[in-house]
Amino acid sequence: MEGAWSSGLTPHLRAGIIAAVAALVIDQASKLWLLYGFDIARRGAVRVTPFFDLVLAWNVGISFGWLQTDHQLAQLALMAIKAVAVIVLGVWMARSSTLLATLALGLIIGGAIGNGIDRFLHGAVVDFALFHLDIGGKTFNWYVFNLADVAIVAGVVGLLYDSFRGVPAAKAP
């Protein structure tokens, strides 16, 4: 079995695939636990710290809630765009020559697939993490997000950092 897994895969690509699978599994496990184990829909918002709450938000749009629509055709279009993006990122990851870029692309792919699974199963992405700050009686909220979003942002930061290191990397397809 080891031979089948390793044939044709560079150590970098193997690490990127592991990062994608880890991001996907952690994301989906957290959502399943919050929805069915913790039952956040019944509990409602739960204050964890003075600046962080667990909430349930169904995001029918794209990043940061943009393009909010629950129209089935729009949801299918978003899933198709996400599928094409994952394929393009996968090709880029396979061509990447640096470990950091490969790991970063793996995180982005895992996060995108995790949110895509939500969209397929629920018609919306399950978001649950809310950071907020209370200043002078006013509450300032960040966008509600999930661990797939964290993986995507970490991946983008990793790609940006890698691009400034001066190491030649494969160009995006």
pLDDT bin (cut points 50, 70, 90) of residue 1 is: very low
Give percent above pLDDT 90 in the chain.
Answer: 66
Per-residue pLDDT reduced to its tens digit, 86-111: 999 999 999 998 999 999 999 999 99
The tally of domains found in the chain comes to 1
66 within domain boundaries: yes
Identity of the amino acid at 118: D
137 within domain boundaries: yes
155 within domain boundaries: yes
pLDDT bin (cut points 50, 70, 90) of residue 7 is: low
* DSSP-based three-state secondary structure for 58: strand
Question: Cα(23)–Cα(35) distance, rounded to whole angstroms?
Answer: 18
What average pLDDT does the segment 75-85 reach?
A: 81
Question: Cα(76)–Cα(78) distance, rounded to whole angstroms?
Answer: 5
95 within domain boundaries: yes
53, 127, 134, 162: which is the annotated catalytic residue?
Answer: 127
Tell me phi and psi for residue 138, to 5 degrees: -105, 140
3 within domain boundaries: no
169 within domain boundaries: no
Per-residue pLDDT reduced to its tens digit, 57-71: 998 876 555 555 556
Domain that holds residue 45: 12-164
Whether 149 sits among the annotated catalytic residues: the reply is yes
How would you list the strands of the sheet with 52-59, edge to edge? 46-49, 52-59, 125-135, 138-141
To which H or E segment does residue 84 belong?
helix 72-95
